[in-house]
Amino acid sequence: MKATERLHALGQSLWLDNITRDLLTSGTLQRYINELSVTGLTSNPSIFDHAITHSKAYDDEIRRQAGSGKSGEALFFELAIQDLTKAADMFAAIHKRTAGVDGWVSLEVSPLLAHDTAKTVAEARALHGQARRANLFIKIPGTLEGLPAIEEAIFAGVPINVTLLFSRDDYVRAADAYMRGLERRVAAGLDPDVRSVASVFVSRWDKATLEKVPAELRDRLGIAVSQQSYKAYRDLLASERWQRLEGYGARPQRLLFASTSTKDPQASDVLYIGALAAPNTVNTMPEETLLAFGEHGSVGQAMPRDGGDAEQVLVAIARAGVDVSALAKQLQDEGAKGFVDSWKDLLGAIEAKSKALT
């Protein structure tokens, strides 16, 4: 049994953090589904920017869409939804078999709308409606500015992938926004079965502290924060507040571990995969990491329900001079800026290709 299959048997979903048109049409994604237990997929502006810039697979469609007058974000979303609906259809059987727990794909709203709740929610509803796929998540960053949009989108019945979470506190705020949206649906007499995942980013913690902590603490911060977030996740599911919602028919917002490729060249290329094995969670990983784990990964014990040694590691890292709370905010701010930069690069690439092709 491959390590990916063992991880799936433990109860964790393996999602691919990548999408290209070639991946869909060549049979590669289907092979990952069949052979590596992949049950979902995520995307972001950087992934699409790389896919469109480094492939001719989109050229004919860009030429056709540009010729019909589409440009900028409208043209991009047309391309992205074409890819993601195809991927969603490939995961549709999994989505049905798991009663909506698994088999999801994700599309991000424009990060340029980050400070406008109403426009973010409107775009989330429009994109989900345009795709016409039940297993499509719309991604909204879990920044302080994004939390109201998350609540409103859930209340509107749009499945949401809350992205760009870094700390336990980030996760708790995102979960609170999710539950507020569900509680408002219950109060309004609406079905509270609106799905969501909360994506905690892992490896950027260790990349930011490689040269700041002693050798024995190197590459341990991302795992410790993940363990801490997992404990908060399990505590929330045991809370009276959640159990009341569950009684009305709500389903848990699953914890998702994102950014799980190893950034330290001295560490294992599958460092975060086995360490983050936890039932009823998701690990979304780049293609290279997925293939490496399938080839030489291993699965040991599941992550401890109580967070294991997370608190001791975090105390030791604080003693080494790292302000974890300040770093969480810095990483989220940098991530939000990176999303905007990637978005602008993506639109620039589409504009350049449109001009060249037409």
Query: What does the alpha-carbon distance between residue 140 and residue 142 come to, in Å, rounded to a whole number?
Result: 6
- CA dihedral angle for residue 330, residue 334, residue 336, residue 337, rounded to 10 degrees: 140
Rg of the Cα trace of the chain?
A: 20
Three-state DSSP string of 39-68: EEEECCHHHHHHHHHCCCCCHHHHHHHHHC
**Which H or E run includes 326?**
helix 324-357
Q: Average pLDDT, stretch 166-174?
A: 98
Residue 253 pLDDT grade (very low, low, confident, very high; cuts 50, 70, 90) = very high
Residue with tokens 């105390």: 315
Report in angstroms the alpha-carbon separations of 151 from 8, 111, 130, 163, 171: 30, 17, 21, 14, 14
Query: What does the alpha-carbon distance between residue 246 and residue 234 come to, in Å, rounded to a whole number?
Result: 14
Strand pairing of 196-201 and 160-165? parallel
What pLDDT does 1 receive? 85
Asked if the model's pLDDT at residue 9 lies above 90, the reply is yes
The percentage of residues in the chain with a pLDDT greater than 70, rounded to a whole number, is: 100
Q: Can you state the angle between helices 310-319 and 324-357, rounded to 10 degrees?
A: 90
Contact (Cβ atoms closer than 8 angstroms) between residue 259 and residue 203: yes
Domains of the chain: 3-357 (3.20.20.70)
Instruction: Identify the active-site residue in 2, 70, 119, 139.
Output: 139
- pLDDT, tens digit, for every residue of 48-92? 988 898 889 999 999 999 999 999 999 999 999 999 999 999 999
Cβ atoms < 10 Å from Cβ of 214: 10
Q: Is 139 a catalytic residue?
A: yes
294 φ, ψ (degrees, to nearest 5): -65, -30
Burial of 143 by CB count in 10 Å (0-12 exposed, 13-18 middle, 19+ buried)? Answer: buried
The percentage of residues in the chain with a pLDDT greater than 90, rounded to a whole number, is: 94
Q: Is the pTM of this model over 0.85?
A: yes
Cβ atoms < 10 Å from Cβ of 321: 9
